[in-house]
Structure 1
């Protein structure tokens, strides 16, 4: 499928955000009080050989350490979401804008469960080549779907073997701030259309005006990585995703991120605390 949108690899555009998140997961995995253990994150970061990443690690190590705490909380929450979904009979998982996510490899999935990863072709190619080189083996029936979420990703997902008659667990982690309002609306409508009874979705959602997401501190941090977050983030007004799903008949639950953080016994200073205060995790379930 040919996209009319800008394409990026792992060291440019939104691909750099995936690399930053992997670096944070690697840091979290080395903590004595770690909330997750990602044995592949460090290898993925090293394989990227990003000069911006090396500069960032040298000049802003403390800030990266701070953000790793928040991302550790976020990753743990969604890990548990997927494991609960699998235990509850879900037979497919779809990770939207999967980036350098390694859940298909590191979580204990039931035999035969399909995990679909949707992202830019070059991002998935880099991940596949790197994980293959270090000998990583998926613990699921993993299917990659190399397509831009602003294009016809539903057809690509269908081609990859997705079965809309089966209950599915969807994940939108660190995704919605980058989508224009129209693309977000289309995304939620497609998920609704493709979700059989017993399906569920979990979403990382930032509340309040979108301009508040990008503080001066975060903007400067991102610029050190070569990313202009103001250009990457979409500030279009749009309805709350939980309200959209509720309007389509889904049962919606909201959990403030700072309460999730406290439940894990984690303190988040600086930027991590700001993200936790602004955010909530939305989980929705379709009964019929």
Structure 2
């Protein structure tokens, strides 16, 4: 269960979800019709040594009938395309909020003079940096880790790392929002707005309001009891719903629009269709929830 000021490494609590995402990206990368390729993800899974995810990479057949690998391909592709589009428009600062084991600074073809800031918990970034150094990986941009808790004064840490608020920036908020308390959720968007000069861009997978989070938790309890996915939970023994906050929070698309951002959105089902990666058939409740999760891009 979560608590105020809690922290984590890569093999516990919220950190373990970052490891799970890396494992799912690694499996997606091996698919014949993979939407993305992440050759770095297996390094992190192997270095962490967490048994469930190392076994998953050794034999991913248990995931074949689950939506999570295909979903992770769609999600990763969405944010890859966002950053490449922002870079093509001339943006040379990128900030990856809650970067986890994201390897975009190494995977994507960034234009010269691009700086990629990775904001996350100190232990997570320490683990990540160690693994990348052991493999002598070289980023394709000026990568700058920013070790700070998002519930703290992360803008100060970001600026100390060289972020220039006078220049446009591309922000990503990927797979994060349910893990933030409502106050931190709202402060995140306020700070991004304050730090964004005209020409800045933002991409978010918006999980929805507090009621949507509560519905997800209820459905996980109902369907993740071995009946829907052949007796397998892709997260192993980790109950991700126990890491979520379901308190009140602002509605990001409405909030951004009120402050002058131009916002566009697509549902999970629409995005899957766009990338020709349809989700398997699931109970109607899942389809309904998928329409509530909206993928946003915004420009200031």
Normalized against structure 2, the TM-score is what? Answer: 0.88
Using a 3 Å threshold, how does the CA distance of structure 1 residues 152 and 60 change in structure 2: closer, same or farther?
Answer: farther
Given the alignment of the two structures, is residue 212 of structure 1 paired with residue 215 of structure 2, yes or no? yes
Structure 2 contact 118–144 (Cα < 8 Å) conserved: yes
* Greater shift in the superposed pair: 243-252 or 273-282: 273-282
Equivalent residue runs for 1:1-288 within 5 Å: 5-54=5-54, 61-62=62-63, 66-207=67-208, 209-214=212-217, 215-216=220-221, 217-218=223-224, 225-269=236-280, 274=287, 276-286=290-300
Q: Deviations over 1:80-111 (max 9, x none)?
A: 00000000011100000000000000000001
Structure 1 contact 119–145 (Cα < 8 Å) conserved: yes
Give distance in 1, aligned partners of 2:84 and 2:28.
20
Unaligned runs of 5+ in 1: none
Q: Deviations over 1:40-94 (max 9, x none)?
A: 1111111110124346667982268531100100100110000000000111000
Structure 1 contact 253–283 (Cα < 8 Å) conserved: yes
Give distance in 2, aligned partners of 1:232 and 1:66.
21
Shift of residue 174 of structure 1?
0.3
Shift of residue 209 of structure 1?
2.1
Unaligned runs of 5+ in 2: 227-231
Structure 1 contact 115–140 (Cα < 8 Å) conserved: yes
Shift of residue 213 of structure 1?
1.9
Give distance in 1, aligned partners of 2:153 and 2:37.
34
Using a 3 Å threshold, how does the CA distance of structure 1 residues 198 and 146 change in structure 2: closer, same or farther?
Answer: same
Shift of residue 15 of structure 1?
0.4
Give distance in 1, aligned partners of 2:166 and 2:94.
13
Shift of residue 264 of structure 1?
1.0
Identify the residue that residue 229 of structure 2 maps to in structure 1: none
Give distance in 2, aligned partners of 1:84 and 1:173.
17
Q: Deviations over 1:132-176 (max 9, x none)?
A: 111211000100000010011011001000000000000000011
Q: How many residues align?
A: 283
* Greater shift in the superposed pair: 242-251 or 160-169: 242-251
Using a 3 Å threshold, how does the CA distance of structure 1 residues 32 and 56 change in structure 2: closer, same or farther?
Answer: closer
Shift of residue 179 of structure 1?
0.7
* Greater shift in the superposed pair: 223-232 or 187-196: 223-232
Q: Deviations over 1:23-51 (max 9, x none)?
A: 00001100010000111111111111012
Give distance in 1, aligned partners of 2:96 and 2:198.
19
CA RMSD in angstroms comes to 2.3
* Greater shift in the superposed pair: 38-47 or 230-239: 230-239
Shift of residue 5 of structure 1?
1.3
Normalized against structure 1, the TM-score is what? Answer: 0.91
Using a 3 Å threshold, how does the CA distance of structure 1 residues 44 and 65 change in structure 2: closer, same or farther?
Answer: farther
Give distance in 1, aligned partners of 2:290 and 2:64.
15
Structure 2 contact 27–60 (Cα < 8 Å) conserved: no
